[in-house]
Amino acid sequence: MTMTVPRGARAGSDVAPRKGQRRGRGRRVALFLAMVVVAVVMLYPFWFMINTSLKTQDQYVSGSGHSLTSWSKLTSVLPVGSQLTNSMIVCVLSIAIIVFVSSCAGFAFAKLRYRASTLVFLGIIAAMLIPMQSIIIPAYVNIAKVDLLTTYFGAVLVYAALGTPFATFLMTAYYRGLPDELIEAGIIDGLGYGRVFLRIAVPMSVPAVVTVIVLQFIQIWDDLLIGLLFLQNTDQRTITVGLGVLSTGRVTDIPVLMAGSLVSAIPAVIVYLVFQRYLISGLTAGIGK
């Protein structure tokens, strides 16, 4: 026995999926176009730096021609090698302090409950809301009193103080995602909290630690204000400070400045591209807790 489906019903059932497919395709096309626009906006500064660095000052003004003169001139007007080394020293020392303090504090806030722990943690979060500009003058006065303005450690301490609150918040969120049973099993097996932290928590927190390192490296490497104020010895200037001083000259060579800016941007871009796969897992850790 055969059943006949009304023609109108069959046509209506076919139209609905087709409309849904067209809507989905239209959304994907719109999303793709939006991503292309964002990519163009984000990549244009790099194209501008590369194109401008391949010109002389006269070619930049006239808008035509290319040359490698600006790159050969860069090392004569800016000690690129030593300033890159200074930037790396400041970043490594600052990040080492931030990672050590935030890892210990994050584990303590997440797994060691004590009186007023919530209040202390809220105080650390509140420290994230304080604008850097409001504390820069007191910090400068205090660093000057202990004669650290002519060493790396003045800037290192300020960078560490500014980066530790957010890093502690991130590490706390990550450690809260670790099962309490795992920590308790380590304690039962005879490990103290110190060895549980070193043998269990730290190896499992690699994504969060890498996230802290990448974010703090980019922020410290690209910073100008703190380096300009707290690194007053010209031999200890970072590459960002060097470019800032170079741009304050009476006559600024724009192609040379763009060449130096490109050199300064490359390390941060490389660090991000190498460790980007850890960022999402590190930033989203502990969301479900």
Burial 203-220 (b: 16+ CB within 10 A, else e): eebebbbbbbbbbbbbbb
* Spatial separation of the C-alpha atoms in residues 256 and 262, rounded to whole Å: 10
Q: Could you tell me which of 120, 125, 128, 111 has the C-alpha nearest to residue 219?
A: 128
* Spatial separation of the C-alpha atoms in residues 161 and 173, rounded to whole Å: 20
CATH number at residue 108: 1.10.3720.10
* pLDDT tens by residue, 150-208: 889 999 999 999 999 999 999 998 888 888 888 888 888 877 878 888 888 888 888 88
Predicted pLDDT at 238: 92
Q: Is residue 130 part of a domain?
A: yes
Predicted pLDDT at 167: 93
Within 8 A by CB and 6+ apart from 264, the residues are 221, 222, 239, 240, 243
Ranked by mean pLDDT, the top range of 70-74, 156-160, 181-185, 254-258 is 156-160
Which structural domain, as residue segments, surrounds residue 178? Answer: 73-283
Q: Is residue 65 part of a domain?
A: no
Q: Please count the structural domains in the chain.
A: 2
Predicted pLDDT at 2: 53
Q: Is residue 62 part of a domain?
A: no
Work out the percent of the chain whose per-residue pLDDT is above 70: 89
